[in-house]
Amino acid sequence: MKTDLTREQMMMMVERARYERSIAAGNIIAAGTRKTLSALARATDRFLHLLLMSPTARQ
């Protein structure tokens, strides 16, 4: 099978695909980090609320 694309055109396509894959991987990492930090913040908030609102807390 013969292609009409030159080697340079194919290399440009490969470079573009790698770039897009890199961007997608970065987005996945950012989303995961955001979710993890959000869950950690919620857990910390709940813990502090329980700790500070408990009947045994000093006033």
Residues 9-33 have pLDDT tens digits of: 999 999 999 999 999 999 999 999 9
Q: What is the 3-state secondary structure (H, E, C) of the chain?
A: CCCCCCHHHHHHHHHHHHHHHHHHHHHHHHHHHHHHHHHHHHHHHHHHHHHHHCCCCCC
pLDDT, residue 51, reads: 86
